[in-house]
Amino acid sequence: MIEIRFHGRGGQGAQVASKVLAVAFFHENYYVQSFPAFGVERRGAPVMAFLRVDQRPIYLRVNIYEPDHLVVLDPTLIGAIDVTSGLKQNGWIIINSHQPPEEFRHLKGFRTATVDATSIAIRNGLGSRTNPIVNTAILGAFSRVTGLVGIDSVALSIREEVPGKKNENAKAAREAFEEVRV
């Protein structure tokens, strides 16, 4: 079983990112379980979402305490909260940042990758300059870095799950797939 935790801020779409990635894995015949951190969401506050993926039916119905990988939609969360809490050794941390991954090497014991999902979102017209929608782009980076799910499945899932600008969102994921740095 693979367990993934998403960190974002309320309104950034961490929950949608988890769901879109779930459907991408589902298209590759995995069993999936996607859920938000159960709570009272507030815009801008740190939020989490979770994803379990397995080749067999998933019976475990508790929070994810020791994820295999992390997806971080907002780099300012690193340091503000303990994002690596429980993260397994050697797990990937995929961060939305214009900085190179070396900037996050202080997160010792883990592998870091960065992608400027914010710029990708803005140039694809996703959201606004002050509030770009980065949750689809970063999934392209996840696909490339982890190799766990194909970019075509991610693009297909985006087209199915995202309510608007389907082509732009899918294109953003493909661009992030190319541009992610490790």
Q: Write out the residues near another protein by the rule CB under 8 A.
A: 19, 22-23, 26, 31-36, 38, 40, 58-63
Nearer to another protein, 58 or 80 (CB): 58
For residue 178, the minimal CB distance to another protein (Å) is: 27
For residue 176, the minimal CB distance to another protein (Å) is: 22
Measured CA to CA, the distance from residue 16 to residue 22 in angstroms comes to 10
For residue 164, the minimal CB distance to another protein (Å) is: 16
Nearer to another protein, 52 or 174 (CB): 52
Residue 3 CB partners (closer than 8 Å, separation 6+): 50, 51, 52, 53, 64, 66, 67, 68, 69
Measured CA to CA, the distance from residue 171 to residue 102 in angstroms comes to 27
Nearer to another protein, 45 or 58 (CB): 58
CA 51 and chain centroid, separation: 10
